[in-house]
């Protein structure tokens, strides 16, 4: 008789759910329990994607179908390392897949970066996405704001800072976020990229969205969008980069629009500007940048020409890092779990039996959400290839995890609980003519889910 494989997945975001889907479709008899430290599932989609990205938010529907399958259970509000240990998981499951993602801001090592008014983009994203562990209030009293970064997160931060609060009411933002955005005083948002547009990490669709924000004028200096031989070579290899460059060049060269005089805010895209210092005494008063120049290879070098921009807030969107997981090896420099094809490796490069990784905690915060499917396929492929060497769980009873969490007093949430919370949030929105209003406080989320 073939035994049913029991797998624990730590993390209910896209990576963990795609890994679950791949397992359930593999033809191997299995059950999967998905754990998350938050009371609600969907991770990055719910708490990392800007609320006005309605198209990307629709990915939730596909993830919903996976968690709704027989043989899959959700345990929310369960923190690995606090409520559940590696020993617990190994006792109850044949294998574990860690899919905890990357939530911390990568450091930017320049003077003044710790001044009040200097923020990590991840913190701001969690605030406007209504993350239960984020602050409820956010000071938006700066009239001139700098955003450092050349990726989609930088675009999200810049767009939300420039957009009116009323335009965001079409989304699921909670009331505290709407109040904060309504008090936003930003008139000029400056986005700074160290390299040229040919090396920017924006996706074309995200970039073009900037041109459709009501009441915002886009400003691009024609000198910032020049190309060298290395840039041209890079463009030959990427249709996506061609579209990015063509878009910013069109913005730089087009005539100023008549509506620009009535614009509520201006969004400036600065390329070839490297941040070298956050200025201020007691709080942020400016950002010093060095002009860079293309080297002919697509890279850049400093020119020694410095410019101080008078800004009162700085947002750093220079990348994310994962967080160490208790009892598991961790590469602190890269912010990931060391692995080989998804098999977690110890400090000696040896495989940790029965432990696998998927998503950003495995490969770093690179690629779009769709790329996670291929990552999950690789990890699950490694797990299934190891089936003959995986020792069976000492306690294979599916009810054992429920008994363990109950005994420890963990107020876990379930898939049925999420359906209750989902209905509750939709009801809050319906009362106000909106699709959904997100519940923010953890205790309220848990209370609704466990009602």
Tens-place pLDDT, residues 433-444: 998 999 999 999
Are residues 269 and 218 in contact, defined by beta-carbon separation less than 8 angstroms? yes
Give the model's pLDDT for residue 366: 80
So what's the pLDDT on residue 257?
65
Q: Which residues of the chain does CATH 3.40.50.720 include? A: 5-103+322-412
**CB 287, CB 314: distance < 8 Å:** yes
Instruction: Report the pLDDT averaged over residues 253-272.
Output: 82
List, in order, residues 6 or more apart from 297 with CB less than 8 Å away: 228, 229, 230
Mean pLDDT of 110-121: 97
pLDDT in tens, 360-381: 999 998 877 777 899 999 999 9
The whole-number pLDDT of residue 207 equals 95
Mean pLDDT value of segment 319-333: 93
Q: CA gyration radius for the chain? A: 23
CA atoms of 62 and 107, how far apart (whole Å): 34
Alpha-carbon distance of 200 to 154, in angstroms, equals 11
Residue 47 pLDDT more than 90?
yes
Q: Name the more confident of 95 and 451.
A: 95
Rounded CA separation 430/436 (Å) = 7
Q: What is the mean pLDDT of residues 213-239?
A: 91
How would residue 259 be classed by pLDDT, with cut points 50, 70 and 90?
low
Contact 300, 196 (CB under 8 A): yes
Q: How far is CA 249 from the centre of its chain?
A: 28
Contact 39, 77 (CB under 8 A): yes
Distance CA 64, CA 42 (A): 8
Tens digits of residue pLDDT in 290-314: 999 999 887 899 999 999 999 999 9
* Alpha-carbon span 219 to 212, nearest angstrom: 14
What's the 3-state SS for the chain? CCCCEEEEEECCCHHHHHHHHHHHCCCCCEEEEEECCCCCCCHHHHHCCCCCCHHHHCHHHHHHHHHCCCCEEEEECCCECCCECHHHHHHHCCEEEECCCCCEECCCCCCCCCCCCEEEHHHHHHHHCCCCCCCCCCCCCCCEEEEECCCHHHHHHHHHHHCCCHHHHHCCCCHHHHHHHHCCCCCEEEEECCCCHHHCCCCHHHHHHHHHCCCEEEEECHHHHCCCHHHHHHHHCCHHHHHHHHHHHHHHHCCCCHHHHHCCEEEEEECCEEEEEEECCCCCCEEEEEEEEECCCCCEEEEEEEEEECCCEEEECCCEECCCCCCCCCECCCCECCEECCEEECCCCCEEEEEEECCHHHHCCCCCHHHHHHHHHHHHHHHHHCHHHCCCCCCCCCCHHHHHHHHCCCCCECHHHHHHHHHHHHHHHHCCCCCCCCCCCHHHHHHHHCC
CA-CA distances (angstroms) from residue 133 to 229, 288, 295, 378? 47, 32, 44, 32
Burial of 118 (0-12, 13-18, 19+ CB in 10 A): buried
pLDDT at 337 over 80: yes
Q: What is the largest CA-CA distance in the chain?
A: 75
> Looking at domain 5-103+322-412, what is its CATH homologous superfamily?
NAD(P)-binding Rossmann-like Domain (3.40.50.720)
Query: In this prediction, what percent of the chain has a pLDDT beyond 90?
Result: 87
Task: With beta carbons less than 8 A apart as the criterion, state whether 317 and 149 touch.
Answer: yes
Reply yes or no on whether the pLDDT at 430 is more than 90: yes
- Taking alpha carbons only, the member of 191, 188, 248, 256 closest to residue 223 is 248
Instruction: Write down the pLDDT at residue 233.
Output: 87
What is the average per-residue pLDDT within 127-139?
96
146-178 confidence digits (pLDDT tens): 999 999 999 999 999 999 999 999 899 999 999
Q: What confidence score (pLDDT) does residue 290 get?
A: 98
Q: Is it the case that residue 429 has pLDDT exceeding 90?
A: yes
Mean pLDDT over all residues of the chain? 94
Question: What does the alpha-carbon distance between residue 379 and residue 7 come to, in Å, rounded to a whole number?
Answer: 13
Distance CA 91, CA 94 (A): 8
- Mean pLDDT of the 25-52 span: 95
Asked if 155 contacts 197 with a C-beta cutoff of 8 angstroms, the reply is no
Binned at pLDDT 50, 70 and 90, residue 2 comes out as low
Where do we find the tokens 């911390």? 104
**The CATH number of the domain covering residues in 105-320:** 3.50.50.60
Q: Looking at residue 234, what is its pLDDT?
A: 84
Specify the domain boundaries for CATH 3.50.50.60 within the chain: 105-320
Q: Would you say residue 254 has pLDDT above 80?
A: yes
More confident residue, 42 or 371: 42
If pLDDT is split at 50, 70 and 90, which confidence band does 316 have? very high
67-102 confidence digits (pLDDT tens): 999 999 999 999 999 999 999 999 999 999 999 999
Residue 109: pLDDT band with limits 50, 70, 90: very high
pLDDT at 33 over 60: yes
Q: Which residue has the tokens 């970066």?
A: 113
CB within 8 Å of 309: residues ≥ 6 apart = 144, 146, 190, 286, 287, 288, 289
Predicted pLDDT of residue 258: 57
Tokens linked to 286: 């400016």
Residue 217 confidence (pLDDT) above 90: yes
């Amino acid at each position: 008789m073939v035994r049913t494989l029991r797998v624990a997945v730590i993390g209910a975001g896209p990576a963990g759910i795609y890994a679950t889907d791949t397992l359930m479709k593999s033809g191997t008899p299995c059950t999967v329990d998905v754990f998350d430290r938050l009371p609600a599932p969907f991770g990055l989609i719910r708490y990392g994607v800007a609320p006005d990205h309605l198209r990307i938010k629709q990915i939730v529907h596909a993830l919903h179908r996976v968690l709704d399958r027989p043989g899959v259970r959700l345990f929310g509000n369960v923190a690995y390392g606090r409520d559940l240990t590696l020993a617990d998981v190994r006792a109850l499951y044949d294998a574990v897949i860690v899919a905890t993602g990357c939530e911390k801001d990568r450091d930017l090592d320049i003077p003044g970066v710790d001044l009040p008014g200097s923020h990590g983009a991840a913190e701001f994203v969690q605030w406007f996405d209504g993350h239960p562990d984020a602050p409820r209030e956010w000071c938006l009293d700066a009239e001139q704001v700098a955003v450092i970064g050349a990726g989609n997160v930088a675009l999200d931060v810049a767009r939300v800072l420039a957009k009116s609060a009323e335009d965001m009411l079409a989304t699921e933002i909670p009331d505290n976020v709407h109040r904060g955005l309504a008090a936003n005083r930003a008139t000029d948002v400056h986005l700074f990229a160290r390299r040229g547009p040919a090396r920017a990490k924006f996706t074309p669709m995200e970039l073009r969205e900037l041109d459709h924000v009501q009441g915002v004028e886009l400003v691009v200096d024609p000198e910032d969008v020049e190309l060298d031989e290395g840039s041209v070579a890079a463009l030959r290899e990427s249709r996506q980069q061609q579209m990015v460059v063509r878009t910013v060049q069109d913005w730089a060269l087009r005539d100023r629009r008549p509506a620009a005089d009535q614009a509520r805010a201006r969004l400036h895209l600065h390329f070839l500007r490297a941040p070298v210092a956050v200025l201020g005494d007691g709080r942020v008063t400016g950002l010093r940048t060095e002009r860079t120049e293309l080297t002919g290879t697509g890279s850049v070098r400093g020119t020694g020409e410095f410019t101080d921009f008078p800004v009162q807030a700085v947002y750093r969107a220079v990348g994310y890092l994962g967080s160490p997981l208790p009892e598991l090896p961790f590469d602190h420099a890269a912010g990931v779990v060391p692995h080989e094809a998804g098999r977690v490796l110890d400090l000696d490069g040896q495989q940790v039996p029965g432990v696998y990784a998927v998503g950003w905690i495995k490969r770093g915060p690179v690629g779009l959400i769709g790329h996670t499917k291929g990552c999950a396929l690789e990890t699950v492929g490694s797990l299934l290839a190891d089936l003959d060497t995986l020792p069976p769980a000492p306690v294979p009873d599916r009810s054992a995890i429920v008994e363990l969490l109950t005994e420890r007093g963990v107020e876990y949430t379930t898939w049925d609980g999420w359906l209750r919370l989902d209905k509750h949030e939709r009801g809050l929105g319906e009362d106000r003519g909106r699709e959904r209003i997100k519940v923010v406080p953890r205790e309220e989320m848990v209370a609704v889910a466990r009602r």
